[in-house]
Amino acid sequence: MLLTLRSLFWAIVLPGTITVYIPSLILRGTEPPDPWGVMQWLALLVGVPGSVILVHCIVAFAVVGGGTLSPADAPRQLVVRGLYRYVRNPMYFGVCLILLAEGAFFDSAAMLEYTGVCMIGVHMFVVLYEEPRLREEFGESYERYCRAVHRWRPGRPYDAGHEVVTKDLF
């Protein structure tokens, strides 16, 4: 129960700030089109999977990793199941899909610029902080995972063999 509350808290604070609070400031005063056009429906087709990916990753961090998406309360096990079998950073990918969908839905250049800034910031965070920390914490297990799974581009599913993780997520 406590892990669920911590996961919910960090989900509200981190991706909630990036995908809801800051976009609400950028889009302040912008009304959704009425009626919806093709772009709004396409945005929905991008945003819903982005949200599902984000939720899936938050659950994976809790169920499989025993932690949350916050670096201050990170998973205690290396999560290499679920979407993490195909790409190392699906959570960030989900967030970017949500932001792209918001920009497209509201036809907002400012939101698309914000999305670009977020993508650059995420890449720098991953390369300069997250990956070195994971290498230090998980050692050779993480190195094998990095050799087998791309940072941003989905690929073949990773087979952890006998390593890490106690159960599959889905």
pTM of the predicted protein model? 0.89
DSSP code, position 78: -
Compute the average pLDDT of residues 64-91. 94
- Each domain of the chain, given as residue ranges in start order, spans 2-148
The residue length of the chain stands at 170
Considering Cα of 38, then 39, then 40, then 46, what sign does the dihedral take? Answer: positive
Work out the angle at residue 129's Cα, subtended by the Cα atoms of residues 118 and 60, and round it to the nearest 5 degrees: 75
- For residue 165, pLDDT beyond 80: no
86-112: per-residue pLDDT in tens? 999 999 999 999 999 999 999 999 999
- CATH tag for 2-148 (out of 1.10.510.10, 3.30.365.10, 1.10.3260.10, 1.20.120.1630): 1.20.120.1630
3-state secondary structure 133-158: HHHHHHHHHHHHHHHHCCCCCCCCCC
Q: How many CB atoms are located within 10 Å of the residue 166 CB?
A: 10
